[in-house]
Structure 1
Amino acid sequence: MQIQRHIERHQLPYYLKVFNRITDKPMGYIGNVSLDGLMLISQLPMLVNARFDMRLKIPGRDGQVHHIDFYATCQWSREDVTPGSYDSGFSLVAPPAEYVEMVDALRHYFSFRPLQASA
């Protein structure tokens, strides 16, 4: 019997940096991600109910940096247990196909899969 596990959220701190798309300044790092939204870990609290223009810079296999631009609305923001860090939850407004592909790729990468028996 083959069992496939499903992970709802993926812990990604300090791997995927989020930038303000307008200013190109870093906003923080993705703490976890789903198709519906993300959690941002930042040095400053985020304004709740505000919409942000965000950008992810993803290194490609071709050596080029690819941008994933999207809008997200901050649903909540609170101080993290780590002093000087804040966690903020964002819902995405019409996530682009590139974001959906990234979430699917991360889900596949971080999923537990049974080892294939070799014959």
Structure 2
Amino acid sequence: MVIERRIQRHQLTCFLKVFNRFTDKPMGYLGNVSEGGLMLISQLPLLVDADFELRLKLPGADGCVQWVDLTARCLWCREDMTPNFYDSGFILYQPPAEYLKLINDLSQYFSFHPLQTSA
């Protein structure tokens, strides 16, 4: 079954940790993000068709940690190219504004911006 992606995804070259919101235990790392979903890279396979409560802990400019809480459903899970790791795809339920800002910030940070020259 071929599924065409309609939402642009942004690959992350540096990974951000993802935690279980209720237990605060690490679940894995962000692999990529989109407005409606994310890919998690973990050391254990995750249950497909299950809902998860996720938390991203982002470094703030003032040294404080900012939490972004997400409710997501795991749509698929498969072995990663790296041995002993798994990739899992999630759809997000009503992603908060902080998550959408994160996507924008990551896109800006990892994108090439040509220098502007004055005429």
TM-score with structure 1 setting the length: 0.88
Query: What's the CA shift for 1:14?
Result: 5.0
Equivalent residue for 2:15?
A: 15
Query: What's the CA shift for 1:109?
Result: 1.5
Equivalent residue for 1:93?
A: 93
Query: What's the CA shift for 1:41?
Result: 0.3
Distance of 2:14 and 2:101 partners within structure 1: 20
Distance of 1:53 and 1:110 partners within structure 2: 27
Sequence identity (%): 64
Superposed counterparts of 1:62-101, under 5 Å: 62-101=62-101
Distance of 1:73 and 1:18 partners within structure 2: 14
Query: What's the CA shift for 1:115?
Result: 1.6
Q: Which amino acid aligns with 1:61?
A: A
Query: What's the CA shift for 1:37?
Result: 0.5
- Whether the aligned pair in 2 keeps the contact of 1:13 and 1:29 (CA below 8 Å) is no
Distance of 2:117 and 2:90 partners within structure 1: 41
CA-atom RMSD in angstroms = 1.6
Equivalent residue for 1:48?
A: 48
TM-score with structure 2 setting the length: 0.88
Runs of 4+ off more than 3 Å: none
Show structure 1 runs of 5+ residues with no match. Answer: 1-7
Query: What's the CA shift for 1:13?
Result: 5.3
Equivalent residue for 2:105?
A: 105
- Aligned positions, number: 113
Show structure 2 runs of 5+ residues with no match. Answer: 1-7
SS at match of 1:47: coil
